[in-house]
Amino acid sequence: MERLRIGQVVLVEGKYDAAKLAGLVDALILTTDGFGIYRNKALQALLRTLGRRQGILLLTDPDAAGFRIRHFVTGLVGEEHVLQAYVPALPGKEPRKPQPGKEGLLGVEGVPAGLLYQALLDAGAEPRAPRAGRAITYADLYEWGLSGTAGSAVRRRALLKKAGLPPRLSKKALCELLNRLYTYEEFAALAQQPAAE
């Protein structure tokens, strides 16, 4: 099964869902951290921005909690910017869990890969065209003092706050996100501006 290159940001509930999808899609995958989305204002702002720019493909568990999260995100981002991907309600439990969830249904992480793949296609996932221009790399983050240098964590948090992005992103997620939102030149200019006092 070939990985789908998806133009939208794929939004799932948790890290195990994201790990499962990483083998199926070539896309930026973000998580809501379950109900954490309700209080995470930085993530909410990011999803609104990404929704307007490229759309969100939303994939939650088929239980009541998943549908509450789905409803919240759709209202937050705007229905016109969200594609809804649904997995079937399959009874069972994920191997890593000692017992099934409250409703006894498999979550996204437990659904067979073929069904997830089909759910994404059925939702209308759009192929992503390769971006023109130079990509932002790990080396750039280092050069700009945002990774791997003394004080880089402080500088990175300050810059992400200035850019309206969540402060806690892995280096990989940060590069993917920056490449979705900025050209190399745009972010280089932002990174090289002096920090506000």
Q: pLDDT tens digits for 22-67?
A: 989 988 899 999 999 999 988 898 899 889 888 999 999 999 999 9
Name the average pLDDT for the chain.
86
**Per-residue pLDDT tens digits for 84-126:** 999 998 888 888 888 877 888 888 999 999 999 999 999 988 7
Burial of 71 (0-12, 13-18, 19+ CB in 10 A): exposed
pTM flag (> 0.85): no
**Token couple for 73:** 């995100």
CA distances from 36 to 32, 41, 42 (A): 6, 10, 11
Q: Which of 87, 34, 96 is nearest to 62 (CA)?
A: 87
Is it the case that residue 15 has pLDDT exceeding 70? yes
| pLDDT single digits (tens) 126-171 | 777 666 778 888 898 888 888 888 888 888 888 777 777 777 777 7
